Amino acid sequence: MTTSYSVFRDESKLDINYIPSKLPHREKEQRLLSEFFNFIIQCPTQMTQRVILTGDVGTGKTALAQTFGADLTSQTKRKNLKFHYVHINCREFRGSLQPILHKIVTAFRPTYPARGYAADEILATLMQVLDEEETTLIVTLDEFDSLIEKVGSDAVYKLTRIHETRQGQPQRLSFIFIMRDLNAIEHLDDSAKSTLQRNIIRLQRYGKPQLIDILNDRAALAFTLGAVEDDVIDLTAELAHSQTGNARFGIELLWRAGKYADASELGHISAECIRNAISAIIPTLHRSELASLDFHEKLFLLAIARYFKENQEAYVQIGEAEKAYQVICEEYEEPPKSHTQIWLYVQYLSKLGVLKAEVVSSETRGRANRISLPSIPAAELEQEMNLSLQGKR
What global pTM score does this model have? 0.72
Query: Tell me, what's the pLDDT at 167?
Result: 79
Taking the C-alpha atoms of residue 295 and residue 58, their distance in angstroms, rounded to an integer, is 26
| Amino acid type, 214 | I
Q: Which residues contact 203 (CB under 8 A, 6 or more apart)?
A: 26, 29, 53, 54, 55, 56, 59, 60, 61, 64
Range with the lowest mean pLDDT among 71-80, 194-203, 258-267?
194-203
Nearest to 375 by CA among 342, 347, 352: 352
Count, residues in the chain: 393
Nearest to 127 by CA among 155, 160, 103, 105: 105
Extended strands (E) in 90-221? 136-142, 173-179, 200-203
Nearest to 287 by CA among 17, 7, 44: 17
Query: Sheet containing 366-372: which strands, arranged edge to edge?
Result: 316-317, 366-372, 356-362
Per DSSP, the residues of 191-253 read HHHHTTSS-EEEEPPPPHHHHHHHHHHHHHHHB-TTSB-HHHHHHHHHHHHHTTT-HHHHHHH
Checking if the pLDDT of 286 tops 60, the result is no
Query: Tell me, what's the pLDDT at 304?
Result: 93
* Phi (first) and psi of residue 79, to 5 degrees: -95, 10
Cβ–Cβ < 8 Å for 144, 134? no
Per-residue pLDDT reduced to its tens digit, 65-115: 999 999 999 999 999 999 999 999 998 888 789 999 999 999 999 999 988
Query: Tell me, what's the pLDDT at 210?
Result: 97
Report which DSSP code applies to 337: P
CA dihedral angle for residue 284, residue 101, residue 156, residue 199, rounded to 10 degrees: -80
Supply the mean pLDDT for the chain.
88
3-state percent helix, strand, coil for the chain, nearest multiple of 5? 55, 15, 35
Quick one: 81 exposed, middle or buried, by C-beta within 10 A (0-12, 13-18, 19+)?
middle
Report which DSSP code applies to 258: H
Range with the lowest mean pLDDT among 12-21, 88-97, 155-164, 251-260?
155-164
Per-residue pLDDT reduced to its tens digit, 289-346: 766 788 999 999 999 989 988 885 668 899 999 999 999 999 999 999 999 999 999 9
